[in-house]
């Protein structure tokens, strides 16, 4: 998902331990040096990087905005599809020269976990290789690096711990990401996540709610709860809060106006989540429910644990809610064995569900995954053809859905200002982007009413309704 804007590092703060909130990054300790952290991949990676930055800042490092200015270069990587993983090695090649200048280079995230110590073979200028399940050990690993060790690894995935930090340096001053569950216990046959992020571990509800209170004190009004299968949340404390109870408890924290969550797995999506959204307007009216394919045969081969019909039952539950809930999804085209008829079932599912938006991908065979042993039978050009057809169809659905909103008024959290005079951008609670005109002096971070005057497939246009 694109970021609406970037803000400078000076503005960034994070929740501090204890009761005192709003503590700025500690004063830099020049002996520790500077770090540059680059992130690829999903929102979980973005947020992991925010926590990694927090760990480094609390140890006295200073964050800089270019690799040239840094003594420590960290690269948080993604391996969900082959292209993403390839990018990592080409970027590491660019860093090679930098190591000669005495810089320390580290690889974090999914590629680190997947490739492990082989990274030292392929890129001997790398000194740190650490997967996300080992981030808790980062302080020790940093100490080893500081002591001059040139081969430091954190690659264990057999952990029941989550990565909690005393300080997180957040990138967005209004919307805070917050991981509530790490890893994944599902076994989708195409997916590297169970290998790279390890088994499912839920954070305690006490700790989550404590952090939400701190975030609210810091001025955040929107929180987004994160997890690969966020709705599989299982509170490890004796309170045994269900996911929907947790959503309601987060929404009850004074100062919080919007609560989002992503990504939901269809098999664990139950009526109580819809009921929670119905009963509490602070719970955003948006569910991201990846389907991956409209064909039950392909879903079986993907080991998705539901059929087309079962998925459609969940959709019926969401569409039947007392207030409209936007629905978005992920789709893979060209999975091994996907016939033209299977693909057409995916197109007909789009027609039937009328998603508000979707992310679509060409199947990419990944190391360690069960589907690697299936022949990747669909030629690249055919995958591209299917992807284009799917995206064309969805564009028309979105054009019609967004057009039907012209004339309506929505609350928008303003999070971007255009270079053009009097033009602003923000999100509705259904996560639609709205570009709108207003004569107001300063709107960033505020909630305003916007009347929709026009629509495109990907955004709404409007004017500030005062």
H/E segment holding residue 344: helix 340-353
Q: Which stretch binds ligand SF4 (CB under 6 A): 157-165, 191-199, 201-209, 236-244?
A: 191-199
- Choose from ligand SF4, ligand 5AD, none: what does 329 bind? Cβ within 5-8 Å by kind: none
Among 32, 81, 239, 399, binds ligand 5AD (CB under 6 A): 81
Residues in Cβ contact with 182 at an 8 Å cutoff, skipping those fewer than 6 apart: 132, 133, 162, 163, 197, 198, 200, 201, 203, 227, 228
Can residue 330 be called a binding residue for ligand 5AD (CB under 6 A)? yes
Q: Which candidate, 108, 114, 120, 33, places its Cα nearest to that of 75?
A: 108
Among 15, 33, 131, 194, binds ligand SF4 (CB under 6 A): 194
CB 414 within 8 A of CB 425: yes
- Choose from ligand SF4, ligand 5AD, none: what does 228 bind? Cβ within 5-8 Å by kind: ligand SF4
Find where tokens 């000194």 sit: 127
Q: Within 10 Å of residue 254's Cβ, how many Cβ atoms?
A: 7
CB 134 within 8 A of CB 156: yes
Q: Which stretch binds ligand 5AD (CB under 6 A): 23-31, 135-143, 178-186, 362-370?
A: 362-370
Can residue 191 be called a binding residue for ligand 5AD (CB under 6 A)? yes
CB of 334 to ligand 5AD, least distance (A): 9
Beta bridge partners of 209: none
Among 45, 168, 364, 398, binds ligand 5AD (CB under 6 A): 364
Q: Which stretch binds ligand SF4 (CB under 6 A): 180-188, 273-281, 375-383, 421-429?
A: 180-188
- Choose from ligand SF4, ligand 5AD, none: what does 363 bind? Cβ within 5-8 Å by kind: ligand 5AD
Going residue by residue from 331 to 350, which x/- string records binding to ligand 5AD, judged by CB under 6 A? Answer: -x------------------
Q: Which stretch binds ligand 5AD (CB under 6 A): 155-163, 253-261, 363-371, 380-388?
A: 363-371
CB of 288 to ligand 5AD, least distance (A): 9
Q: List C-alpha distances in Å: 266 to 125, 208, 411.
A: 43, 24, 28
- What order of strands is seen across the sheet that includes strand 175-179? 175-179, 222-226, 258-262
Cβ closest to ligand SF4, residue 95 vs residue 190: 190
CB 289 within 8 A of CB 314: yes
CB of 81 to ligand 5AD, least distance (A): 5
Going residue by residue from 267 to 306, which x/- string records binding to ligand 5AD, judged by CB under 6 A? Answer: -----------------------x-x--------------
User: Helix and strand tally (H, E) in the chain?
Assistant: 13, 19
Can residue 110 be called a binding residue for ligand SF4 (CB under 6 A)? no
Q: Which stretch binds ligand 5AD (CB under 6 A): 60-68, 309-317, 358-366, 387-395?
A: 358-366
What phi-psi label fits residue 2: left (phi over 0), alpha (psi between -120 and 50 degrees) or beta? beta
Q: Which stretch binds ligand SF4 (CB under 6 A): 6-14, 181-189, 208-216, 409-417?
A: 181-189
Alpha-carbon distance of 5 to 16, in angstroms, equals 25
Q: Which candidate, 229, 277, 287, 271, places its Cα nearest to that of 250?
A: 277
Alpha-carbon distance of 174 to 183, in angstroms, equals 26
Q: Indicate the angle between helix axes 340-353 and 380-403, nearest 10 degrees.
A: 10
Can residue 193 be called a binding residue for ligand SF4 (CB under 6 A)? yes
Can residue 201 be called a binding residue for ligand SF4 (CB under 6 A)? no
State which of positions 385-414 bind ligand 5AD (CB under 6 A). Answer: none
Q: Within 10 Å of residue 5's Cβ, how many Cβ atoms?
A: 12
The site for ligand 5AD (CB under 6 A) is made up of: 80-81, 190-191, 290, 292, 330, 332, 361, 363-364, 366
The site for ligand SF4 (CB under 6 A) is made up of: 184, 186, 188, 191, 193-194, 228-229, 265
């Amino acid at each position: 998902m694109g970021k609406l804007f970037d803000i400078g590092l000076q503005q960034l703060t994070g929740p501090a331990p204890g009761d005192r909130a709003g503590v700025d990054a500690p004063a830099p300790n020049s002996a520790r040096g500077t770090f540059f952290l680059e992130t690829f991949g999903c929102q979980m990676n973005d947020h992991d990087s925010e926590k990694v930055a927090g760990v480094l800042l609390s140890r006295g490092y200073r964050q800089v905005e270019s690799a040239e200015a840094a003594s420590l270069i960290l690269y948080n990587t993604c391996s969900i599809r082959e292209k993403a993983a390839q990018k990592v090695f080409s970027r590491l090649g660019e860093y090679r020269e930098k190591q000669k200048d005495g810089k320390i280079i580290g690889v974090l995230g999914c590629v680190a976990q997947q490739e492990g110590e082989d990274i030292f073979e392929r890129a001997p200028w790398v000194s740190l290789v650490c997967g996300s399940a080992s981030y808790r050990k980062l302080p020790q690993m940093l100490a080893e690096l500081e002591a001059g060790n040139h081969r430091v690894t954190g690659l264990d995935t057999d952990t029941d711990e989550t990565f909690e930090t005393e300080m997180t340096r957040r990138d967005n001053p209004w919307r805070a990401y917050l991981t509530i569950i790490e890893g994944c216990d599902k076994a989708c046959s195409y997916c590297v996540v169970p290998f790279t992020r390890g088994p499912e571990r839920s954070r305690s509800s006490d700790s989550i709610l404590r952090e939400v209170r701190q975030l609210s004190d810091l001025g955040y009004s929107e929180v987004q709860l994160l997890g690969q299968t966020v709705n599989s949340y299982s509170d490890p404390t004796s309170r045994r809060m269900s996911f929907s109870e947790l959503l309601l408890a987060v929404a009850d924290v004074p100062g919080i106006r919007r609560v989002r969550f992503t990504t939901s797995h269809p098999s664990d999506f139950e009526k109580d989540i819809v009921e929670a959204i119905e009963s509490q307007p602070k719970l955003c009216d948006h569910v991201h429910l990846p389907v991956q394919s409209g064909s039950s045969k392909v879903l079986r081969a993907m080991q998705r644990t539901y059929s087309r019909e079962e998925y459609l039952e969940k959709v019926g539950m969401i569409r039947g809610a007392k207030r409209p809930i936007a629905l978005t999804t992920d789709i893979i085209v060209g999975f091994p064995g996907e016939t033209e008829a299977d693909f057409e079932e995916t197109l007909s599912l789009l027609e039937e569900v009328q998603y508000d938006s979707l992310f679509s991908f060409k199947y990419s065979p990944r190391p360690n995954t069960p589907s690697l042993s299936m022949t990747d039978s669909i030629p690249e050009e055919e995958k591209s053809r299917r992807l284009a057809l799917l995206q064309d169809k969805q564009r028309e659905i979105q054009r019609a859905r967004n057009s039907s909103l012209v004339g309506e008024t929505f609350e928008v959290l303003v999070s971007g200002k255009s270079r053009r005079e009097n033009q602003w951008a923000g999100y509705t609670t259904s996560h639609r982007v709205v570009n709108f005109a207003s004569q107001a002096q300063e709107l960033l971070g505020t909630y305003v009413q916007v009347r929709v005057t026009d629509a495109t497939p990907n955004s709404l246009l409007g004017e500030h309704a005062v």
